[in-house]
């Protein structure tokens, strides 16, 4: 049985739903493991969803550790982000030293971890882009996809390294954002707007409510939970092994390419409300 350390910022509903789905997947026997503790980078009172997540974890008998990143040496965070990152995560590692994990899962964790953390234990991260795709927050990823007029989007689980969002991908799933009438209508609407304004002005005016942006986000969120559950299942079963910062298959061979879990994930989405494709 594999022990997962669960690191989160608990910023939004998606972060809570991801934790809840992983917990249920373990309880239902889908994932042969357990969440051994929850670490939250917000203190109680700093967010509705982070409070809810920590309360639920406590009620389920999990140790919960919270250290506010926002309140930790804010002047240093502005002046020297790398130094701040080292000191903050040094405090985190000290707070977690008596708690066991085989792998740490960054699930809606909004801070870049320090190099020391990357070297200390295996860490996986959910990133809302395809392997080799845009880096950054999910908002930055989606706007870059729109700017590049991408044909596909997706999500991946990758190993965390000091290079932001560029550690080796182990699993992913994809979906098209072009090529059928519903998607093409959204691109056409955007193109009409771009005849009289630019993309930066559209971002400023509409933000996350812009229809193409919102549709891409909705489709991505649908896949984040099943991608995470299936990846944790593969790790717990030993189908994917993490050694020395690299992914291997169960026979000890280096995973030459990340596993495309789209065929396993798409059938679970059939009938989802408001589906675009």
What DSSP string runs through 222-268? HHHHHHHHHHHHHHHHTSEEEETTEEEETTS-B-SS-EE-HHHHGGG
Residues 32/2, Cβ–Cβ less than 8 Å: yes
Residue carrying structure tokens 């965390």: 160
Could you tell me the pTM of the whole model? 0.88
CB atoms within 10 A of CB 147: 12
Is residue 110 packed enough to be buried (19+ CB in 10 Å), middle (13-18) or exposed (0-12)? middle
164: DSSP letter = T
DSSP state of 269: G
Q: How far apart are CA 213 and CA 217, in angstroms?
A: 6
pLDDT digits (tens), the chain, 277 positions: 899 999 999 998 989 999 999 999 999 999 999 999 999 999 999 999 999 999 999 999 999 999 999 999 999 999 999 999 999 999 999 999 999 999 999 998 999 999 899 888 999 999 999 999 998 888 999 999 999 999 999 999 999 987 766 789 999 999 999 988 899 999 999 999 999 999 999 999 999 999 999 999 999 999 999 999 999 999 999 999 998 888 999 998 998 899 999 999 998 887 544 444 4
Domain boundaries defined on the chain: 2-269
- CATH superfamily, domain 2-269, is Formyl transferase, N-terminal domain (3.40.50.170)
- Residue pair 114/89 in contact (Cβ under 8 Å)? The answer is yes
């Amino acid at each position: 049985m594999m022990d997962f350390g669960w690191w989160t910022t608990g910023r939004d509903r998606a972060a809570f739903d991801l934790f809840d789905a992983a917990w249920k997947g373990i309880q239902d026997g889908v994932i042969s493991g357990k969440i051994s503790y929850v670490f939250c980078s917000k203190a109680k009172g700093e967010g509705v969803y982070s409070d809810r997540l920590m309360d639920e974890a406590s009620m389920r008998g999990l140790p919960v550790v919270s250290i506010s990143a926002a309140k930790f040496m804010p002047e240093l965070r502005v002046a020297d982000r790398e130094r701040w990152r080292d000191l903050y995560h040094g405090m985190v590692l000290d707070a977690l030293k008596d708690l066991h994990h085989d792998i740490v899962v960054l699930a809606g964790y909004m801070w870049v971890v320090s190099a020391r953390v990357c070297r200390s234990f295996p860490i996986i991260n959910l990133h809302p882009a395809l392997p080799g795709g845009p880096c950054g927050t999910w908002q930055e990823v989606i706007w870059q996809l729109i700017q590049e007029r991408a044909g596909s989007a997706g999500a991946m689980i990758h190993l965390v390294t000091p290079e932001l969002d560029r550690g080796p991908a182990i699993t992913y799933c994809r979906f098209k954002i072009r090529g059928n009438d519903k998607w093409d209508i959204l691109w056409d609407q955007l193109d009409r707007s771009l005849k009289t304004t630019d993309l930066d002005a559209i971002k400023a005016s509409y933000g996350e409510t812009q229809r193409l942006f919102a549709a891409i986000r909705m489709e991505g969120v649908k896949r984040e939970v099943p991608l995470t559950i299936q990846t944790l299942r593969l790790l717990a079963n030993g189908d994917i092994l993490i050694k020395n910062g690299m992914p291997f298959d169960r026979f000890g061979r280096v995973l030459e390419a990340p596993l495309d879990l789209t065929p396993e994930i798409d059938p679970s989405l059939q009938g989802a409300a408001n589906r675009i494709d």
